[in-house]
């Protein structure tokens, strides 16, 4: 039973103060030769970024509003449309929150949460419909306009990650590494594909990507597959070292990094010290490197892969996989008694420069061309930092039972 409820969800826990207009930056002994400044943040998940179009936020981030949606930790990721934020609370309610004011517009009960409230559901949104994958073995479609459940589908196993919507289908992964294609309007199963079930159960799952009329997925078993979206037929199949063979010891809380489409290629990486660039149509390898990561890389101008791997920030040439430059974070902070091999998150592309975050609240600003540290910051009360959600000129972070809007 424990296996069914072990979950991964790296929530962006940017823990900040509660006072309006309170600055988030603090003080900490600086690295020699590095200055302190305020921070600008932009998210970069599994998308290709042009450094000429990097969004901006104001310097000196301040709290615009804070909204509590329960005393217990939130159990899902945060999604948004043009006007509102949506998130599942620890009681199984879907909360709709106005992005500008922080006002809760409505709460709708969706499903009973698992007994262990800290284990989460995962949600996605497409054209006003929220698709919810639960650890109680259900996929639920909810209409944000009518505030009603359109359909729900019960499975024999817990759902891994958020359902993905592609054309007329919803793609769902279960804990035993089976992928289902559901009818977008009814929730009925159209086809399914089974990958190898790993000996350890992961509720984390990457988001499939669409290339032409095929979806490309990677499973925690190490299986990489391109499936025809219409029929579920296998176009090609490859194999990486599975996540549960990670050299530092298998961990139920290891993530599976999302595939990234780069032109006619697809970049895939996992925590098992492997990164590979494949031809998206035929699955042939362009290159493969012993580089593992727990967070999504940033692709800059279709030329460079920026990624955090084994306490290093790496800049990788997309064409051949060679490392352009490397910053050793462990060596950089070797004199910091509080470091203790803490995890690092990011990177984020911020106004043509790179930012990385540590679990000890350190924030580094790097030169994009050579990896040199330009500035160092410290953010008050950060317990865990991962990519926040950005919309226009606001940043949204969730902390335990609270949502913060920052600018």
Please tell me the predicted confidence (pLDDT) of residue 46.
Answer: 45
Where residue 368 falls among pLDDT bands split at 50, 70, 90?
confident
* Percent of the chain whose predicted confidence (pLDDT) is above 90: 32
Please tell me the predicted confidence (pLDDT) of residue 254.
Answer: 41
Q: Which residue has the higher pLDDT, 271 or 12?
A: 271
Instruction: Examine residue 217 and say whether the peptide bond preceding it is cis (omega within 30 degrees of 0).
Output: no
Q: Which residue has the higher pLDDT, 234 or 384?
A: 234
Q: Which residue has the higher pLDDT, 222 or 188?
A: 188
Please tell me the predicted confidence (pLDDT) of residue 400.
Answer: 62
Mean pLDDT of 312-338: 85
Please tell me the predicted confidence (pLDDT) of residue 91.
Answer: 82
Mean pLDDT (the chain, rounded): 76
pTM of the model: 0.78
| Residue intervals in the chain for CATH 2.40.128.630 | 76-112+120-202
Please tell me the predicted confidence (pLDDT) of residue 242.
Answer: 59
Mean pLDDT of 131-149: 92
Please tell me the predicted confidence (pLDDT) of residue 120.
Answer: 60
Residues 6 or more apart whose Cβ sits within 8 Å of residue 251: none
Where residue 324 falls among pLDDT bands split at 50, 70, 90?
very high
Residues 6 or more apart whose Cβ sits within 8 Å of residue 384: 10, 11, 12, 13, 15, 345, 359
CATH tag for 76-112+120-202 (out of 1.20.140.10, 2.30.30.40, 3.20.20.150, 2.40.128.630): 2.40.128.630
| CA–CA separation, 238 and 278 (whole Å) | 9
Mean pLDDT of 253-279: 80
Q: Give per-residue pLDDT as tens, 153-163.
A: 999 988 888 89
| CA–CA separation, 165 and 131 (whole Å) | 8
| CA–CA separation, 260 and 20 (whole Å) | 38
Please tell me the predicted confidence (pLDDT) of residue 111.
Answer: 83
Distances 35 to 120, 137, 161, 374 between C-alpha atoms, Å: 39, 50, 40, 7
**pLDDT value at 173 more than 70:** yes
Please tell me the predicted confidence (pLDDT) of residue 150.
Answer: 97
Q: Give per-residue pLDDT as tens, 195-217.
A: 876 655 545 567 788 999 999 98
Q: Which residue has the higher pLDDT, 169 or 177?
A: 169
Please tell me the predicted confidence (pLDDT) of residue 234.
Answer: 96
Q: Give per-residue pLDDT as tens, 26-57.
A: 444 555 444 434 333 333 344 454 555 555 65
């Amino acid at each position: 039973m424990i296996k069914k409820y072990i979950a991964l969800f790296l929530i962006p826990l940017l823990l900040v103060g509660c006072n309006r207009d309170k600055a988030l930056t603090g003080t900490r002994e600086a690295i020699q030769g590095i200055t302190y400044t305020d921070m600008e943040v932009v998210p970069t998940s599994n998308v290709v970024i042009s450094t000429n179009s990097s969004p901006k936020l104001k310097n000196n981030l301040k709290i615009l509003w804070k909204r509590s949606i329960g005393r217990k930790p939130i159990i899902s990721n945060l999604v948004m449309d043009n006007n509102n934020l949506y998130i599942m609370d620890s009681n199984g309610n879907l909360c709709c929150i106005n992005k500008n004011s922080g006002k809760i517009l409505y709460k709708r009960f969706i499903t009973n949460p698992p007994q262990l409230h800290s284990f989460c559901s995962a949600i996605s949104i497409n054209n006003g419909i929220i698709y919810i994958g639960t650890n109680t073995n259900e996929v639920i479609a909810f209409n944000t306009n009518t505030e009603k459940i359109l359909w729900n589908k019960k499975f024999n196993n817990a759902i891994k990650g958020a359902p993905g919507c592609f054309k007329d289908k919803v793609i769902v992964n279960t804990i035993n590494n089976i992928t289902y294609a559901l009818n977008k309007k009814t929730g009925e199963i159209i086809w399914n594909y089974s990958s190898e079930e790993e000996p350890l159960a992961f509720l984390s799952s990457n988001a499939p990507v669409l290339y032409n009329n095929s979806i490309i997925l990677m499973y925690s078993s190490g299986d990489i597959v391109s499936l025809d979206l219409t029929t579920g037929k296998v176009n090609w199949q490859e194999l990486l070292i599975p996540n549960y063979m990670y050299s530092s010891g298998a961990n139920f809380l290891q993530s599976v990094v999302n595939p990234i489409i780069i032109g006619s290629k697809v970049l895939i990486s996992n925590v098992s010290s492997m990164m590979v660039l494949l031809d998206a149509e035929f699955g042939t390898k362009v290159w493969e490197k012993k580089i593992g990561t727990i967070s999504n890389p940033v692709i800059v101008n279709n030329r460079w892969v920026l990624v955090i791997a084994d306490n290093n920030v790496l800049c990788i040439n997309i064409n051949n996989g060679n490392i352009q430059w490397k910053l050793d974070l462990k060596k950089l902070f070797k004199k910091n008694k509080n470091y203790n091999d803490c995890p690092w998150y990011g990177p984020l592309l911020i106004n043509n420069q790179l930012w990385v975050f540590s679990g000890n609240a350190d924030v580094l600003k790097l030169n994009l061309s050579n990896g040199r540290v330009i500035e160092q910051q410290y953010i008050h009360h950060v317990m865990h930092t991962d990519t926040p959600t950005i919309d226009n000129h606001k940043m949204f972070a969730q902390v335990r039972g609270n949502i913060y809007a920052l600018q």
